[in-house]
């Protein structure tokens, strides 16, 4: 589904829609009866907010605009966002995804993913004379700046997150000699720092609120004088989607989370639901749904990770309607209207040049 240009903000909309699939248009099975008794109405609860966050929209816009403006190929370091549908779609349009900058021809144009990069990566780009477009999410950049600030002030840094995640690698790279990554309270217990009174913590932006809270509590117990960011590092969209699940999961028999396996925030949504006692599965697309999951299930709640496009959500709705879930209700837990501006490299490229002044 191609994005459509929005001249108001030089952005693109990506399969985003407020229109729900018409339940009447799909086959109905919710009138089945057993022994003459009709079964309970099967229904779908569509959680809102769900899907794309502002950082993901911005990152995808950047790649699309770069392709439109500079032409293919445009190189992208790592997956621009952690969603296979989005990556495959952009690849078909001319984006080339690479793991390392050495795979990019010298002097070519390269885009950094929304998850950010370390100073070492930026230095390598300079050495190869690459034309860089930075699609790092501004909320990730905020954490990078906090890491730099604390390191300059002489703090030992504790970064709460998952070691193999690109965001964590980038943040740790801002101050690698003073930063330790922890993922569990047990790892906090064995932390050793030069000065226990000079410690600061930061967190990956896509952790679950409960997970981050537990880790911060453990850190404060071990280091009573530990410093932290002025505002929490957990992304607003991560928090909002988790809050929506917490508000709706108790009224559902099953929670389906649309998102890719390597999406941290999508996995956290599954965990939030499971921790509340409601069965949940992570799916990339409707075809991933196993029929046995729906056995005895009257109410299915659907949400989507921050990098999952709405078109995939609607395909899941259509699939469930075909299985007799005729009632589709959107449940808005909170409004969400956040947008981030484009980086200067893109703004300059798409801004018409001013005519030369008349003599």
Domain coordinates in residue numbering, the chain: 17-53+236-332, 54-137+342-350, 139-222
Annotated binding site for isopentenyl diphosphate: 82, 115, 165, 263-265, 307
Residue of 167, 169, 174, 310 marked active site: 167
Q: Are strands 279-283 and 199-203 parallel, antiparallel or unpaired?
A: unpaired
**Cβ pair 196, 220 in contact under 8 A:** no
Which residue in this structure is represented by tokens 């590092």? 233
Helices (H), the chain: 54-70, 84-92, 119-127, 138-152, 166-172, 185-189, 209-222, 236-248, 264-275, 310-322, 344-350
Average pLDDT, the chain: 90
Which tens digits make up the pLDDT trace of 250-296?
999 999 999 999 999 999 999 999 999 999 999 999 999 999 999 99
Q: What is the strand order of the sheet 179-182 is part of?
A: 179-182, 156-160, 199-203
Annotated binding site for [4Fe-4S] cluster: 53, 137, 235
- Indicate if 187 belongs to the active site: no
Topology of domain 139-222, CATH: Cobalt-precorrin-4 Transmethylase; domain 1 (3.40.1010)
CA distances from 280 to 32, 240, 277 (A): 25, 18, 9
Domain 54-137+342-350 has CATH 1.10.3720.10: no
Q: Are strands 109-112 and 131-134 parallel, antiparallel or unpaired?
A: parallel
* More confident: 25 or 101: 101
Provide the whole-model pTM.
0.88
Distance of alpha carbon 226 from alpha carbon 234, whole angstroms? 18
Distance of alpha carbon 253 from alpha carbon 154, whole angstroms? 50
**Band of residue 230 on the pLDDT scale cut at 50, 70, 90:** confident
Establish whether domains 17-53+236-332 and 54-137+342-350 are of one fold: no
Least confident of 11-25, 258-272, 320-334: 11-25
Q: Does an H or E element contain 46, and which?
A: strand 43-48
| 187 Cβ contact partners less than 8 Å away, ≥ 6 residues apart | none
Q: Which of 172, 171, 150 is nearest to 230 (CA)?
A: 150
Average pLDDT in the 115-142 region?
A: 98
Top-tier CATH class for 17-53+236-332: alpha beta
Q: Please give the distance of CA 231 from its chain centroid, rounded to a whole number.
A: 19
């Amino acid at each position: 589904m191609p994005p459509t240009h929005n001249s108001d903000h030089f952005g693109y909309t990506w399969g985003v829609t407020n229109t729900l699939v018409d339940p009447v248009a799909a086959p109905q099975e919710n009138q089945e009866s057993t022994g003459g008794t009709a079964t309970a109405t099967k229904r779908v609860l569509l959680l809102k907010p769900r899907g794309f966050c502002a950082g993901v929209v911005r990152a995808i816009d950047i790649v699309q605009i770069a392709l439109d403006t500079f032409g293919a190929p445009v190189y992208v370091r790592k997956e621009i966002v952690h969603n296979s549908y989005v990556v495959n779609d952009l690849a078909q349009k001319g984006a080339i995804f690479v793991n390392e900058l050495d795979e990019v021809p010298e002097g070519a144009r390269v885009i950094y993913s929304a998850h950010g990069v370390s100073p070492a990566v930026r230095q390598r780009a300079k050495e190869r004379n690459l034309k860089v477009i930075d699609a790092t999410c501004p909320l990730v950049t905020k954490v990078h700046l906090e890491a730099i600030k604390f390191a300059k002030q002489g703090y030992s840094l504790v970064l709460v997150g998952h070691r193999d995640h690109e965001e964590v690698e980038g943040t740790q790279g801002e101050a690698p000699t003073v930063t330790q990554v922890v993922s569990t309270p047990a790892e906090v217990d064995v932390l050793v720092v030069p000065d226990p009174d000079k410690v600061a913590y930061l967190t990956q932006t896509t952790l679950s609120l409960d997970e981050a809270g537990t880790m911060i509590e453990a850190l404060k117990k071990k280091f009573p004088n530990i410093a932290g960011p002025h505002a929490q590092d957990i992304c607003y969209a991560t928090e909002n989607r988790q809050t929506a699940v917490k508000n709706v999961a108790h009224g559902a028999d099953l929670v389906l989370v649309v998102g890719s396996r390597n999406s941290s925030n999508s996995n956290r949504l599954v965990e939030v639901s499971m921790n509340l006692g409601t069965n949940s599965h992570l799916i990339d697309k409707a075809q991933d749904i196993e029929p046995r999951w729906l056995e005895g299930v009257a109410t299915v709640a659907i949400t989507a990770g921050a990098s999952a496009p709405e078109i995939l959500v609607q395909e899941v709705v259509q699939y469930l309607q075909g299985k007799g879930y005729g009632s589709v209700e959107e449940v808005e837990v909170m409004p969400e209207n956040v947008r981030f501006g484009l980086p200067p490299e893109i703004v300059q490229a798409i801004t018409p040049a001013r005519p030369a002044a008349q003599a």
